[in-house]
Amino acid sequence: MVDNTMALMHTTYSPQSIKVENNTDVRLKEQTDKFEAFFIKKVLDISLKNDNKLFEKDAGDKIYNSMYNDAMSDSLTGKFGFSEMLFNFLKEGR
């Protein structure tokens, strides 16, 4: 298992200010954040796949890894800029 707590504490991305003007913008921002979390979780699921044949798998390994990736994706949401970019793109399209 890789300890990446130091990397999370030293993120350099600072999102620009997003202008949330009404209730529709609030709902749109929530959905774009959820999409970014989903995207990050899929990337983590693929990149942190542990196919080590040396050790046997427990019944809880998949559950633990899924919970770990969920927590990581939730904590990283809003730090990559996908949500902000998607929000601004969809807001301009209205």
Which H or E run includes 39? helix 23-47
What pTM value is reported for the model? 0.69
Average pLDDT, the chain: 80
Which H or E run includes 61? helix 61-76
**Please, which residues have CB within 8 angstroms of residue 60's CB and are 6 or more apart in sequence?**
none
Sorting pLDDT into bands at 50, 70 and 90, what band is 80? confident
pLDDT tens-digit map of 49-69: 777 666 677 778 888 888 999
CB 77 within 8 A of CB 36: yes
Determine the pLDDT at residue 34.
93
CA distance linking residue 23 with residue 42, whole number of Å: 29
